[in-house]
Amino acid sequence: MSFLSYLQDKRYFLLMYAVTMMFVSLIMLVSMKGHGALNNLAYMNGGCFLFAAGYLVWGYFYRKSFYQELQAFLQPKSEGDPVRGKTPWVNPYQDWAIEALPAPQNAEQELYLELLRQLAIEQTKEKQLLHADLKNHQDFILSWIHDVKLPIAASQLIMQNRAGKTAEYLVDKLEDELSKIDSYVEQALYYSRIDAFSRDYFITEVPLLAIVKETVKKSAKVFIAKRIRPDMEGLTHSVNSDSKWLGYIVNQIVANALTYTENGGSITFRSEDTATEKRLIIADTGIGIVAGDLPRVFDKGFTGVNGRTNNRSTGMGLYLAKQLAIKLGHDLSITSTEGEGTAVTVHFMKVRHYNDFR
């Protein structure tokens, strides 16, 4: 900072000084007469000017070291950008940049430096979250590409070995693989839209029976192939929700139940109405979940013991279902006994208890 810049910052002090001196001089001229009055006036103005100038010069040099260190810290440290013709600002101190700032000389500077420290801490946290989200996104994309290639490769094998097969057999097998591809694409679509959820939902009264019937219809082929019986007699309630997003949540739960239920098993759908909430309970007679995996089944990418023995498990279905349920103001919980089955409950909080739930 130059001395002229420093004086510009002190312009209000200089203005106040000038007004004060004019007022005092006027009072002296009115109250005193003769040649001595002019001398006193000149001595008073000269002395005050020297004191004020001394104060300004002393203040400038006192703070000059701080301003010089701060200016040096903010100077660009890289070579020029040959493309843009500008010198980009590169912080040479990396994460400990704030610690390298000069020590404050007064309370005002201390406040500004504390503000910079807080901003740096918040920026570091946001950067870490962004890096974690980016890594999770990259991991999901890599996993998704690997998964979606499997049904594509299977379809190619079916076509290459079509000799001797009937058209009905080939169509049936290709439909199965297309269904898997469709499921993976739908999962990627919902995953990509989860952050923009607030712009795409419409809450209405939704009959749970209609949602479940649509899901069972969508997976009818698997129900029939595995001879799994859907029991929907206990579905009697309606809930306030978005039918599209709720349908996807139920689809993911049912897909998991179908994957881990042996042939000839059953999946039961029932609803309950309590004082605080309505519930949709989806219970299967599958292989169940080991107790150690149960607390983590809603974590992103977690496949657990069952997932490692099933090549189709991506660990994303229940994660997406849980995240969407929370965004809708619902919740998911799960109970399971290894070897006996699993029950997933969708909780629909009633309006008067919604704030307690949140």
| Beta-bridge partners for 266 | 229
Residues 231 and 196: beta-carbon distance below 8 Å: no
Q: Which residue has the higher pLDDT, 143 or 46?
A: 46
Across 206-234, average pLDDT? 90
CA–CA gap between residue 307 and residue 321 (Å, rounded)? 17
Instruction: Give the range among 6-15, 57-66, 73-82, 188-197 with minimum mean pLDDT.
Output: 73-82
pLDDT in tens, 165-187: 888 888 988 988 898 898 888 88
Across 16-24, average pLDDT? 92
What are the residues whose beta carbons fall under 8 Å from the beta carbon of 131, sequence distance 6 or more? none
CA–CA gap between residue 58 and residue 38 (Å, rounded)? 30
CA–CA gap between residue 67 and residue 23 (Å, rounded)? 35
Look up the pTM and report it.
0.63
pLDDT in tens, 230-260: 999 888 899 999 998 899 999 999 988 998 8
Across 251-271, average pLDDT? 91
Q: Which residue has the higher pLDDT, 127 or 105?
A: 127
Confidence at residue 87, expressed as pLDDT on a 0 to 100 scale: 42
Q: Tell me: pLDDT of 294 over 50.
A: yes
Which range is most confident: 31-35, 140-144, 148-152, 342-346?
342-346
CA–CA gap between residue 257 and residue 240 (Å, rounded)? 24
Confidence at residue 197, expressed as pLDDT on a 0 to 100 scale: 67
pLDDT in tens, 67-113: 777 666 666 554 444 444 444 444 444 556 666 677 776 667 777 77
Confidence at residue 311, expressed as pLDDT on a 0 to 100 scale: 55
Which SS3 state, helix, strand or coil, does residue 206 take?
A: strand
pLDDT band at 309 (very low <50, low <70, confident <90, very high): low
Across 190-200, average pLDDT? 74
Q: Give the count of beta carbons closer than 10 Å to the beta carbon of residue 194.
A: 14
Helices (H) and strands (E) in the chain, counts: 11, 7
Across 285-307, average pLDDT? 82
Residues 293 and 306: beta-carbon distance below 8 Å: yes
CA–CA gap between residue 351 and residue 242 (Å, rounded)? 15
DSSP annotation of 103: P
For 118-141, b/e burial (b = at least 16 CB within 10 A) is eebeeeeeeeeeeeeeeeeeeebe
Confidence at residue 172, expressed as pLDDT on a 0 to 100 scale: 87
Q: Tell me: pLDDT of 8 over 80.
A: yes
pLDDT band at 295 (very low <50, low <70, confident <90, very high): confident
Residues 248 and 190: beta-carbon distance below 8 Å: yes
CA–CA gap between residue 46 and residue 165 (Å, rounded)? 112
Q: Which two tokens stand for residue 233?
A: 């007699």
How much of the chain, in percent, has pLDDT values that exceed 90?
25
Q: Tell me: pLDDT of 283 over 90.
A: yes
